[in-house]
Amino acid sequence: MRKGLIVSKVLEHSIAAEMDIEAGDIVLAVNGCPVNDILDLQYHTADNEFTLLIEKQNQEVWELKIEKEPGEFLGIEIDAIGTEGLKKCANNCIFCFISQLPPGMRDSLYDRDDDYRLSLTQGSYITLTNLRPQDIERIKTLHISPLYISVHAWDSAVRAQLMGNPKAGNLPEQIRMLAEARITLHTQIVLVPGYNDGKVLEETVQELAQLYPAVQSIGVVPVGLTKFRAGLPKLRTVSPKEAAQILDLGIAWQKSFRTRTGRNLVYFSDEFYFLSGRDFPPIDEYDDFSQLENGIGLTVKFKEEVESHLSFLPRAIHEKRMVHLVTGVLAADFFQKLCNQLKEITGINITVHPIVNRFFGPQITVAGLLTARDIAAQINDLEGDYFLIPKVMLKADEDVFLDGYSVDWLARKINGQAIIVENNGKAFLEGVLRKRIGGVA
């Protein structure tokens, strides 16, 4: 077998399918240039005409002349980011979530990736501490943008302490270099009380804001702590009072930045608003929702999506049914208020079940980290009723929870019928009604 990228999937009716490329084939080169990772493949196949070198599973080597329309894709998926695998994390962060996982979970959960290629292709946050000079040069030459950067602290000593790596202190130089190369950057700060709050947080936000327009967003999220911290540094979560104080500072920063840049620039995760009991800002305060995957703006966007579809809902359904919504403690009140708006639909009764996270510990309150066993232990026999499971609770490519138990297992355990819903307002309403609804997409 030659060195190259193995094709995992060929999309139907694509150029690759027409050229008889199959899963298991190996992409060796494009226009004579070796293909060592997904970026090589994307970069060299961006032209409308190119030559693809493929090794078939019978070891035949095919040279394929490809012609495609502008914007058209080859139509293949690759089984790995590169021939040498993922770039691993070189840090020992005091708040690392992977270090707080119990043993015995599925292997992929323990992967400590810190790969700039995943930052581009999947929006994963990277720390820059494992980048070699040639990696930096490649990012600049290929203009690999946008990148998502875990900053945490601008102060070199504080960042090095937080991340357990002296190289972490090189961030200011690295991030300025990327900004000068006109790489778009989305940044995050995991707030650890006593370490990078107060003046350290103020400095970090202001220094990053100075790098606008390269820096397009600064996300602030509170540290998440599980009960599995034996032998790890003693940390604490953000208190409700601290959450309110941080939001007060944030509002002042946002007003200043909007005047200067036309954007709020700094955004706070939904947890800060839930913790403090503060109202969420209007939807336009989130600008382009550039950090949704970081839990920033999800609640506001979800609420707006629900409300935009309310006028399309029926006034009654013919078959009466009980529907149960499973969620975390943090967002339970929000969903209860949302479900109260649906009480006018005759025939539907919705019960919200806030599940305490006993698996990771009660300090973990978000829905995405709930397990099947916790849900099963806290919900009684549903007697065949429907229950909604947010997709965010499950493995990306499989209906399996973090503890390895499947949705089918949970349905049998609580004697209910599961409906898996995507994390948006329309999908939620369609899950409740068990039918498609009209309105905006």
- The pLDDT assigned to 360 comes to 96
pLDDT, tens only, 387-418: 999 999 998 888 999 999 999 999 999 999 99
pLDDT, tens only, 76-126: 999 888 888 889 999 999 999 999 999 888 777 888 999 999 999 999 999
- The pLDDT assigned to 439 comes to 57
- The pLDDT assigned to 234 comes to 95
Averaged confidence pLDDT in the chain: 94
- The pLDDT assigned to 1 comes to 62
Q: Is the pLDDT of residue 441 over 60?
A: no
pLDDT, tens only, 264-276: 999 999 999 999 9
Q: Is the pLDDT of residue 438 over 80?
A: no
Question: Using CA atoms, how far apart are residues 5 and 17, in angstroms rounded to an integer?
Answer: 17
Domains and CATH numbers, the chain: 5-78 (2.30.42.10), 98-296 (3.80.30.10), 304-433 (3.40.50)
Task: Identify the three-state secondary structure at position 58.
Answer: coil
Q: How many residues does the chain have?
A: 441
Q: Is the pLDDT of residue 146 over 70?
A: yes
How many other β-carbons are positioned within 10 Å of the β-carbon of residue 39? Answer: 19
Report whether 207 contacts 265 (CB < 8 A).
Answer: no
**Cβ-Cβ contacts under 8 Å for 8 (sequence gap 6 or more):** 23, 77, 78, 79
- The pLDDT assigned to 317 comes to 87
- Reported for 309-314, long-range contacts at CB under 8 A and 24+ positions apart, including other chains, are 309/425, 309/426, 309/429, 309/437, 309/439, 309/440, 310/341, 311/439, 312/437, 312/438, 312/439, 313/342, 313/345, 313/429, 313/433, 313/437, 314/345, 314/433
Under the banding of pLDDT at 50, 70 and 90, the label for residue 26 is: very high
* Alpha-carbon dihedral angle through residues 116, 121, 122, 125, given to the nearest 10 degrees: 20
Task: Identify the three-state secondary structure at position 311.
Answer: helix
Q: Is the pLDDT of residue 290 over 60?
A: yes
- The pLDDT assigned to 298 comes to 96
Please provide residue 382's backbone torsions phi and psi, each rounded to the nearest 5 degrees.
Answer: -85, -5
Question: Using CA atoms, how far apart are residues 426 and 429, in angstroms rounded to an integer?
Answer: 5
pLDDT, tens only, 162-207: 999 999 999 999 999 999 999 999 999 999 999 999 999 999 999 9
- Write down the pTM of the prediction: 0.91
Q: Is the pLDDT of residue 440 over 60?
A: no
Report whether 367 contacts 390 (CB < 8 A).
Answer: yes
